Structure 1
Amino acid sequence: MTLPDPHPAALPEGHPDAGDTFRHAARGTAPQIVLVRHGETEWSLDGRHTGRTDIPLTARGEEQARAVGRALAGRRFGLVLTSPRRRATDTAALVTPGLVDSPAPEVDADLAEWDYGSFEGLTSPQIAEAFGGPWNLWENGIVQDAEGRGEQAADLLARNQAVIRRAHRTLNTGDDVLIFSHGHYLRSLGATWIGAPIRLGEYLVLDTAAVSVLGFEHGNQVLRQWNRTPWTEPAA
């Protein structure tokens, strides 16, 4: 089977996002976007691709989320967003009580995990076996299922741009933004933030309940921190 081209072409001239580099004017201490991947689930343990399937955290995943909450305790955010999936909303519910003067998490459908189409619930080796050769999400993309569900990198790019635009409205007031989402989605978001192709996300590995920080340096959008795992750190 021939996989579709997973890599998005440049946006057409005249598209509202064409040429938008999402640059931010540096002023004083620049605000940040803090990213939190959800805690462990049974499928993340098994390496199964978990897109639209809505499964809960494991007990260990809940403990991981509480450790993130301790790491972020006392922080203030002007905007808190979460994927609609239970594993993300439950992580947010365990993290946010320790925040200060921050709004309740808002569900944003653009933060949902990559829709894996016909690959939903399969491991990478299972997908490779089915298609008769090596398979890599970032290089090969996905095949839609019988109901036409499934996303390519171009679909994630559009979602990323919408999320970044929304975040900028808060960042431009000087407030930080907190986002709860998923591994592959956040890896793609990190790539888009620095102006790189979605495929760069292959190199931005994220563990469960990892904390990362998107920020600014000299007016450029940068990765200030990546894949910190508070649950592996000694208790204070």
Structure 2
Amino acid sequence: MGELILIRHGQTGWSLSGRHAGRTDVPLTDEGEAAAKALGPRLARRPLVAVFSSPLGRALRTAELAGLTGTRPDPDLTEWDYGGYEGMTAAQIRQERPGWDLWRDGVLPGDADHPGERLEQVAARADAVLDRIRPLLSDGDVAVVAHGHLARVLTVRWLGLDASASRLLGHPHPGTVSVLATEDGRPFLSAWNVP
């Protein structure tokens, strides 16, 4: 049985400053590009049978720089739609909503381009991705290039947990790899947030 190799896209200016970048297509920084290239040798040793990516440029560029060929854009891998919180930091949001927690409180609706998404909607997208990937794992590893919050939801859904358990995982750093695997038919987290 293959493993699901989960890659967070490289650093962007918004990830560096802590701004929520859901649907806004923010480019990689020079450091983000270097980190993506550095993933190449590690990923080249993997028997990849498929590569999926968020359709956003920062994820597709990470896949390209990491040497992942045949990448298939998948809209279900797009980051959480932060609605009215798009572009804001958690500190800015908490000035308006003291004690705010994304996992508990969600987001406020935004404009037509950023209507916002509930956690349950993000989890449904993650489940759809996993339903497409699981059958491929019988032939080898599958790589997924995605985003921080989406990666956390995807991971807990892999583990069979409620999406709210995503709060228990640390935010994966840009340009890192996590590995989702199985042992005796049971899913487990083999590696998390590895540079």
Task: Using structure 2 for the length normalisation, give the TM-score.
Answer: 0.95
The list of structure 1 runs, each at least 4 consecutive aligned residues, that deviate by more than 6 angstroms after superposition, is none
Q: Is the 8 A contact 2:84 2:108 kept in 1?
A: yes
Q: 1:53 aligns with which of 12, 24, 33?
A: 24
Letter in 2 for 1:118: G
The Cα offsets for residues 203-234 of structure 1, whole Å up to 9 and x where unpaired, read as 222111110011101111111111111xxxxx
What is the DSSP-based 3-state SS (H/G/I as helix, E as strand, rest coil) of the residue aligned with 1:225? strand
1:109 aligns with 2:75: yes
In structure 2, the residue matched to 1:199 is 164
Asked whether the 8 Å contact 2:46–2:141 carries over to 1, the reply is: no
Give, in angstroms, the shift of residue 114 of structure 1: 0.4
Q: Cα RMSD over matched residues?
A: 1.2
Greater mean alpha carbon deviation, residues 54-63 or residues 139-148: 139-148
Aligned partner of 2:190 in structure 1 is 224
**Which one-letter code corresponds to 1:215 in the other structure?**
A
The letter for the 2-side match of 1:127 is I
Q: Which has the higher strand share?
A: 2
Matches within 5 A, 1:103-182: 104-131=70-97, 133-147=98-112, 149-172=115-138, 174-182=139-147
Question: How do 1:10-49 residues align onto structure 2 when only pairs under 5 Å count?
Answer: 30-49=1-20
Q: What SS does the aligned partner of 1:196 have?
A: coil
Uncovered stretches (5+) of structure 2, i.e. residues with no partner: none
Match of 2:46 in 1: 75
**Structure 1 residue 108, shift from structure 2 partner:** 0.3
Q: Say which SS state the counterpart of residue 57 (structure 1) adopts.
A: coil
The gaps in structure 1 that reach 5 residues or longer are 1-29, 98-102, 230-236
Tell me which structure has the larger Cα radius of gyration.
1
TM, length-normalised to structure 1: 0.79
Give a deviation string over 1:75-103, Cα, whole Å, max 9, x none: 22111000011110000000125xxxxx5
- The structure where helix makes up a greater share of residues is 2
- Percent pairwise identity: 40
In structure 2, distance between residues paired with 1:146 and 1:107:
25
Q: How many residues align?
A: 193
